[in-house]
């Protein structure tokens, strides 16, 4: 079935501006469409994030943030990002429309590229990466599928920042995203979840290896098997897989693909400078390799969609070489080859030529080379002395931070120690500044993913997570770190993330009969807030606890508010004033008010009139009121 007919995106007008013309392809993270920018009247490629990723708030925020960062990149070798927006809760990205082919298609058509062609392609790729690294943006997914070659021979790198955006979602070694890029992934990306400029350098080195040899360094039955090899095996020199590769090119690849990030170029700019230097010294200049096909659709992260409109490039056959004049046959006499009277002279010349050829062959194959001394960890003075003894020159580039090597020790050596180098050649050294220092940021209240990525950007890893109860921090978010925020640590250090389990559950104790102060203290000790209320009680003395709400034995959580019911004592009522009233009336009035009358006579034979009552004022009902009369 034609996907164009069934795809609901086709025919839509996104953001009131981008008219979706046709479906192009599905990728691991998005679908790509050919569209028209109706305002500027130009063709664009629109990448719409898959629904399962768009539904994740954190992924959506990261996608938009990284898209904005990618849009700031402006370079001829970078696929431009024009705009980003959201349509029906589906975020989309508007990019430069690039008709052409991926580097993957070039490899499928050509098999391998020559060293000159490889350096030409990588010159453009590294130039694009260098611009991104200078802007603080890491690609994280360099592979032939993300390198485009246009019909007029331009090289462009696509999908800057998008791999990082998807990294916020759950991706495992069985996921399509990681499985497709396992062959190019730097060890630290899957071992520690960290990625920086050196991770891109590693991936670029693997791409260079593939261009030279026609295959990736490691293969396996699963993504995990490939990743395991990247973690525990050194990538071999390309010359071990293909002939005709100069040792200087070998050195570039092995330097870029060192398993230890500290042993790689610090960023794409450094690798690019060295590549240009090697290319110019060896004279390895070539045009960008021609396209195997001409496509009418842009390229996606999974390569271009199949199309019927494919035109194969036609290369005119090379003109036949001029026929060589066959050499004169030597004269034969009696079945023995003879050179005539000058035979001894010719034989001597031939022998000398053979010897000279052997010497020259040895010289060009091995004799003109020596080996670079191993200088990593040496002081500047010791390194210069060793290079001087080896007859080599030294060149220094800007010092770099290093976790492995102390300040003022050699942290980077090109070519690497033990590699071949021409006699009198130049070895490039970079001295160590020691580890980079970073301040641990405050991460309280952030998600574990956000905290991990923020630390990763500083070169700090998470050693483990510890779950703790917290009243103030939502369950699943970061409570604190160890070392705490504000601590200055070396790059390469690790921290412990303390993650909230939510408020601690507690059982409300029985506090009946305790005075208000003690009951409040006991409840607060469990992390509960106490709200006292007063209640009249004829059985519990004033100031003592009667009960709690929720009731004792109930389960609450630290931080919850518990109502503490405190006795106000019995309720009081007005005692009627019956002084000067006849005794009978006084007794009836006292009883009607809820009190007991206790009449006492002081003068027998009197008028039976009350002259005094006690107690008076407010009293609990049922109180006995003494009535004195005469």
Q: List, by residue number, the catalytic residues.
A: 141
Q: Do the Cβ atoms of 196 and 138 come closer than 8 Å?
A: yes
Q: Please state, as a whole number, how many other Cβ atoms lie within 10 Å of the Cβ of residue 395.
A: 11
In angstroms, the Cα distances linking 56 to 36, 67, 105 are 28, 16, 34
Closest CA to 68 of 147, 164, 144, 141: 164
Please report the beta strands in 444-593, taking only residues with DSSP state E, as ranges in sequence order: 461-468, 478-482, 488-490, 494-500, 505-507, 529-536, 545-549, 555-557, 561-569, 572-574
CA-angle at 290, arms to 313 and 216, nearest 5°: 115
In angstroms, the Cα distances linking 100 to 3, 170, 286, 311, 582 are 22, 32, 20, 11, 120
In angstroms, the Cα distances linking 128 to 136, 162, 207, 274 are 13, 15, 15, 15
Side-chain half-sphere CA neighbours of 473 within 13 A: 19
* Helical (H) or strand (E) element with 275: helix 268-282
Closest CA to 417 of 383, 373, 370: 373
Q: Copy the structure tokens of residue 600.
A: 């006492």
Q: Copy the structure tokens of residue 417.
A: 């120690």
Q: What secondary structure does DSSP assign to 236-248, as a single string?
A: PPGGGTSSS--HH
Q: Do the Cβ atoms of 530 and 559 come closer than 8 Å?
A: no
Please report the beta strands in 339-389, taking only residues with DSSP state E, as ranges in sequence order: 369-371
Q: Do the Cβ atoms of 476 and 500 come closer than 8 Å?
A: yes
Closest CA to 271 of 404, 126, 169: 126
Tokens 């160890």 belong to 482
Please report the beta strands in 27-154, taking only residues with DSSP state E, as ranges in sequence order: 30-37, 42-49, 81-87, 90-96, 100-102, 147-150
* Helical (H) or strand (E) element with 22: strand 18-26
The DSSP code for 92 is E
b/e map 332-353, b = 16+ CB within 10 Å: eeeeeeeeeeeeeeeeeeeeee
End-to-end CA distance of the chain: 117
Q: Do the Cβ atoms of 468 and 501 come closer than 8 Å?
A: yes
- In sign, the C-alpha dihedral spanning 68, 73, 77, 83 is positive
For residue 596, is the peptide bond before it cis, meaning its omega torsion is within 30 degrees of 0?
no
CA-angle at 486, arms to 483 and 490, nearest 5°: 65
The C-alpha torsion from 385 through 389 and 394 to 396, rounded to 10°, is: -20
């Amino acid at each position: 079935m034609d996907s164009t007919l069934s795809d609901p995106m086709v025919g839509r007008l996104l953001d009131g501006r981008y008219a979706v013309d046709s479906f192009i392809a599905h990728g691991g993270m998005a679908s790509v469409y050919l569209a028209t920018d109706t305002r500027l009247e130009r063709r664009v490629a629109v990448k719409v994030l898959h629904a399962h990723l768009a539904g994740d708030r954190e992924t959506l925020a990261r996608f938009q943030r990284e898209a904005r960062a990618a849009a700031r990149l402006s370079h001829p070798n970078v696929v431009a990002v024009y705009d980003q927006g959201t349509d029906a809760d589906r975020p989309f990205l508007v990019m430069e429309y690039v008709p052409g082919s991926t580097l993957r298609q070039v490899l499928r058509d050509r098999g391998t590229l020559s060293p000159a062609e490889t350096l030409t392609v990588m010159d453009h790729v590294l130039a694009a990466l260098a611009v991104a690294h200078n802007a603080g943006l890491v690609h994280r997914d360099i592979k032939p599928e993300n390198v485009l070659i246009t019909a007029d021979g331009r090289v462009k790198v696509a999908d800057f920042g998008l791999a990082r955006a998807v990294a916020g979602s759950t991706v495992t070694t069985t996921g399509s995203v990681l499985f497709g890029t396992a062959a190019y992934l730097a060890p630290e990306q899957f071992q520690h979840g960290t990625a920086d400029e050196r991770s891109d350098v590693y991936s670029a080195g693997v791409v260079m290896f593939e261009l030279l040899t026609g295959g990736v360094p490691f293969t396996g039955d699963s993504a995990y098997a490939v990743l395991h090899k990247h973690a525990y095996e050194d990538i071999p020199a390309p010359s071990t897989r293909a002939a005709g590769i100069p040792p200087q090119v070998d050195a570039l690849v092995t330097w870029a693909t060192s398993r230890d990030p500290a042993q790689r170029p610090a960023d794409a700019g450094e690798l690019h400078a060295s590549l240009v230097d090697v290319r110019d010294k060896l004279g390895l200049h070539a045009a960008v390799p021609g396209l195997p096909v001409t496509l009418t659709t842009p390229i996606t992260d999974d390569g271009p969609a199949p199309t019927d409109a494919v035109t194969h490039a036609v290369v005119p056959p090379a003109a036949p070489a001029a026929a060589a004049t066959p050499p004169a046959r030597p004269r034969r006499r009696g079945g023995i080859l003879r050179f005539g009277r000058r035979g001894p002279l010719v034989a001597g010349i031939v022998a000398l030529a053979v010897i000279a050829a052997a010497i020259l062959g040895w010289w060009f194959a091995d004799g003109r080379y020596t080996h670079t001394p191993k200088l990593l960890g040496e002081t500047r003075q010791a390194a210069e002395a060793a290079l001087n003894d080896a007859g080599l020159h030294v060149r220094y580039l800007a010092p770099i931070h290093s976790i492995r090597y102390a300040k003022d020790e050699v942290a980077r050596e090109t070519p690497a120690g033990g590699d071949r180098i021409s006699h009198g050649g130049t070895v490039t050294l970079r001295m160590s500044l020691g580890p980079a220092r970073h301040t641990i940021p405050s991460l309280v209240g952030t998600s574990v993913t956000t905290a991990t990525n923020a630390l990763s950007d500083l070169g700090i890893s998470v050693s483990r997570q510890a779950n703790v109860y917290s009243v103030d921090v939502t369950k699943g978010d970061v409570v604190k770190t160890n070392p705490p925020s504000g601590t200055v640590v070396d790059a390469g250090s690790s921290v412990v993330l303390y993650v909230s389990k939510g408020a601690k559950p507690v059982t409300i104790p029985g506090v009946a009969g305790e005075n208000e102060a003690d009951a409040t203290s006991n409840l607060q000790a469990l992390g509960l807030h106490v709200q006292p209320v007063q209640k009249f009680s004829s059985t519990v003395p004033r100031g003592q606890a009667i009960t709690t709400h929720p009731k004792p034995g109930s389960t609450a959580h630290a931080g919850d508010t518990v109502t503490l019911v405190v006795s106000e004592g019995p309720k009081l009522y007005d005692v009627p004033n019956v002084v000067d009233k006849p005794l009978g009336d006084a007794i009836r009035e006292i009883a009607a008010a809820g009190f007991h009358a206790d009449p006492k006579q002081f003068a027998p034979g009197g008028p039976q009139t009350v002259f005094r009552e006690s107690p008076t004022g407010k009293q609990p009902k049922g109180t006995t009121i003494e009535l004195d009369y005469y």
